[in-house]
Amino acid sequence: MIERPTIHLFQRDFRIADNPALSAAASAGPVIPLYVLDDGASGEWAMGAASRWWLHGSLASLQSDLRQRGSDLVLRRGDAVAIVTSLLEETQAAAVHMTRAHEPLARQLETRLKTLCNRQGVAFRRYPGSLLAEPEEIRSKSGEGFRVFTPFYRALTDKPPRAPLPAPLLLSAPAQWPASDDLDAWGLLPRAPDWARGLRATWTPGEKVAQARVRRMIERGLGSYIEGRDRPDRAATSMLSPSLRFGEISPRQCWQALSMAAEGDARLAAGANALLRQLAWREFFHHLLYHWPDLAEAPLRSEFGEFPWDSDAARAAKRLRAWTRGQTGYPIVDAGMRQLWETGWMHNRVRMITASFLTKHLLIHWRLGANWFWDTLVDADLANNSGGWQWVAGSGADAAPYFRIFNPVLQGQKFDPDGAYVRRFAPELARLPERYIHAPWEAPAECLAAAGVRLGVDYPMPIIDHATARRQALAAWRNMKDSSANIEA
Ligand SMILES: Cc1cc2nc3c(=O)[nH]c(=O)nc-3n(C[C@H](O)[C@H](O)[C@H](O)COP(=O)(O)OP(=O)(O)OC[C@H]3O[C@@H](n4cnc5c(N)ncnc54)[C@H](O)[C@@H]3O)c2cc1C
């Protein structure tokens, strides 16, 4: 008798090891690994261009890893439910498995697939795997989700996560493979113009590389993570965010590797704990999105619905354009925006500085910044991106107080003291001495001339004066508080 296969629908779990849904499918019999590119369902949150670049590489790597194990990856494009419906008929599959994801659209898909499977008399099973703990497992005393990080962190670390699973020993193939699209024909990679050169030079997507990155982090960087993690001029962070986004590695695998490496060595333990804390921020924002599904659309602190963003549309559009192009005249901001454009990634400290500059200096809505990040980041993630933007803008969970407005010059001097980061991503400033690298407009004329910088020609003058911007931002904030107090009165 032919064994009925299980369809494993990959979503954000592009890995073979520590994939409970795939392991369970493998132990039940033949498996049909499937990925469906369903652009239509995602609307505004369809994957951005940089993420699609990563998706191509990650799918190619997963397909090759599965083939090496005698399996394969079936690729289809269209409505995921319609495709699973026709595959159930074609393959007589007995079950559909998937790893749970927590974005609103992923949850809708789970519900639709569950209904379909119930109707067809096929088992539907979803498994944990994207997070260290499922949202139902971490609740505040009132039974709700946490809005403040520290108690969330305590609750999360109270019980260590379950140990990760090894890769399944056997992935049996179905009696017949369903037809698959050709990945190259999906057109996920840019052609004309080919803007992905910097991405190719920076990244190699895939499960093996993600695991190697964790190992390298442990071997080289863990001890120096604490001092180095805020320094964009040093390669001190793990750069695991796109791999975590696509599930090439699970947070549990990272947690276990870091915890084991840190055992018995106080310096490594301190580094590991600092990194685990960042993983907990990822967890916090994912739980937050689960409990507040409109996190990407609406301010978590409702008074920010009244925030007086710049109402001069032409000025705001011009400034937004300067920000996206890295032409604000503030070197640390411009270097960050250019790092993003060139490599599809930006250092966390600089994400905070650039987001603060857009929302507070330019009074431009955080959603416009989040949209730009969405299109240009290889790690674009609805929970982390919306959570991060709202945190910086002051409207989010446990956000930085609004009146803490980053001074981009001081931030540059503190976190890129020699200006190496600016010199790398804004090379027209490379010959400026340290003293002026973060404030070129303060440099004497002869110093600018010696460095080959003509302000306003080779590099812009600041598009806004910091002290003026700060005053305006604080006035806007007071305005918002007054109008929300009036609404309440
Ligand atoms: C405005 C803004 C937007 C952001 N958008 C995204 C996004 O779309 N996708 C994304 O993955 N991260 C986002 N972040 C969080 C953070 O900047 C990146 O996760 C981090 O820079 C990735 O680099 P890394 O892997 O070297 O981090 P490491 O320092 O090595 O940290 C390890 C992992 O922990 C998680 N992590 C680290 N810092 C944070 C954080 N502050 N919040 C949530 N998770 C964190 C990431 O998964 C990261 O890979 C955003 C932050 C801000 C301020």
Nearest CA residue ID for atom 46, ligand 1: 241
CATH of segment(s) 302-488? 1.10.579.10
Q: Which residues line ligand 1 (CB under 6 A)?
A: 229, 237-241, 244-245, 275, 278-279, 281-282, 285, 348, 351-352, 355, 373, 377, 379-381, 384-385, 388-389, 392
> Same CATH topology for 131-164+206-291 and 302-488?
no
How remote is the CA of residue 384 from the centroid of ligand 1, in Å? 7
Q: How far is Cα 216 from Cα 247, in angstroms, rounded to an integer?
A: 18
Pocket test for ligand 1, best of 333, 364, 366, 379 (most atoms within 8 A of CB): 379
Nearest CA residue ID for atom 26, ligand 1: 239
Q: Is the pLDDT of residue 264 over 60?
A: yes
How remote is the CA of residue 353 from the centroid of ligand 1, in Å? 14
> Is the distance from CB of 209 to CB of 54 less than 8 angstroms?
no
Q: Which atom of ligand 1 is nearest to the CA of 238?
A: 30
Q: How far is Cα 62 from Cα 57, in angstroms, rounded to an integer?
A: 9
Residue 343 banded pLDDT, cuts 50, 70, 90: very high
Q: Give the pLDDT of residue 418.
A: 98
Mean pLDDT of 295-314: 96
Q: What proportion of the chain, given as a percentage, has pLDDT over 90? A: 88
Count CA within 13 A, CB hemisphere, residue 102: 29
Q: Which atom of ligand 1 is nearest to the CA of 285?
A: 43
Mean pLDDT of the chain: 95
How remote is the CA of residue 329 from the centroid of ligand 1, in Å? 26
Of 406, 381, 382, 380, give the one whose Cα is nearest residue 392. 406
Q: Give the pLDDT of residue 489.
A: 43
Q: Dig out the tokens for 325 from the structure.
A: 């192009």
How remote is the CA of residue 241 from the centroid of ligand 1, in Å? 6
Q: Give the pLDDT of residue 102.
A: 95
How remote is the CA of residue 170 from the centroid of ligand 1, in Å? 34
Mean pLDDT of 456-482: 95
Q: 402-421: per-residue pLDDT in tens?
A: 888 999 999 999 999 999 99
Q: Which atom of ligand 1 is nearest to the CA of 241?
A: 49
**Residue type for 75, please?**
L
Q: Is the pLDDT of residue 399 over 80?
A: no
Mean pLDDT of 253-275: 91
Q: What fold, for 131-164+206-291?
A: 1.25.40
Nearest CA residue ID for atom 16, ligand 1: 348
Q: 200-209: per-residue pLDDT in tens?
A: 999 999 999 9
Q: Is the pLDDT of residue 213 over 80?
A: yes
Residue with tokens 């010696």: 450
Mean pLDDT of 420-434: 98
Q: Which atom of ligand 1 is nearest to the CA of 245?
A: 11
Q: 121-136: per-residue pLDDT in tens?
A: 999 999 999 999 999 9
How remote is the CA of residue 280 from the centroid of ligand 1, in Å? 11
Nearest CA residue ID for atom 2, ligand 1: 388
Q: Is the pLDDT of residue 225 over 60?
A: yes
**Residue type for 290, please?**
Y
Sequence ranges of the domains in the chain: 6-129, 131-164+206-291, 302-488
Mean pLDDT of 131-157: 92
Q: Give the pLDDT of residue 222.
A: 85
Of 236, 239, 167, 169, give the one whose Cα is nearest residue 210. 239
Residue 487 banded pLDDT, cuts 50, 70, 90: low
Q: Which atom of ligand 1 is nearest to the CA of 389?
A: 1
Q: Give the pLDDT of residue 2.
A: 78
Q: What fold, for 6-129?
A: Rossmann fold (3.40.50)
Q: How far is Cα 326 from Cα 342, in angstroms, rounded to an integer?
A: 11
Mean pLDDT of 462-470: 98
Nearest CA residue ID for atom 30, ligand 1: 238
Mean pLDDT of 306-312: 96
How remote is the CA of residue 447 from the centroid of ligand 1, in Å? 38
How remote is the CA of residue 11 from the centroid of ligand 1, in Å? 20
Q: Which atom of ligand 1 is nearest to the CA of 242?
A: 11
Nearest CA residue ID for atom 12, ligand 1: 384
SS3 readout for the chain = CCCCCEEEEECCCCCCCCCHHHHHHHHHCCEEEEEEECHHHHHHHCCCHHHHHHHHHHHHHHHHHHHHCCCCCEEEECCHHHHHHHHHHHHCCCEEEEECCCCHHHHHHHHHHHHHHHHHCCEEEEECCCCCCCHHHCCCCCCCCCCCHHHHHHHHHHCCCCCCCCCCCCCCCCCCCCCCCCHHHHCCCCCCCCCCHHHHHHCCCCHHHHHHHHHHHHHHHCCCHHHHCCCCCCCCCCCCHHHHHCCCCCHHHHHHHHHHHHCCCHHHHHHHHHHHHHHHHHHHHHHHHHHCCCCCCCCCCHHHHHCCCCCCHHHHHHHHHHHHHCCCCCHHHHHHHHHHHHHCCCCHHHHHHHHHHHHHHCCCCHHHHHHHHHHHCCCCCHHHHHHHHHHHHCCCCCCCCCCCCCCHHHHHHHHCCCCHHHHHHCHHHCCCCHHHHCCHHHCCHHHHHHHCCCECCCECCCCCCHHHHHHHHHHHHHHHHHHHHHHHC
Nearest CA residue ID for atom 49, ligand 1: 241
Which neighbouring-strand residues pair with 32? 7
Of 173, 125, 157, 122, give the one whose Cα is nearest residue 20. 125
> Is the distance from CB of 415 to CB of 232 less than 8 angstroms?
yes
Nearest CA residue ID for atom 40, ligand 1: 281
How remote is the CA of residue 412 from the centroid of ligand 1, in Å? 19
End-to-end C-alpha distance for the chain, whole angstroms: 73
Pocket test for ligand 1, best of 230, 241, 282 (most atoms within 8 A of CB): 241
Q: Which atom of ligand 1 is nearest to the CA of 369?
A: 1
Nearest CA residue ID for atom 47, ligand 1: 241
Which neighbouring-strand residues pair with 31? 6
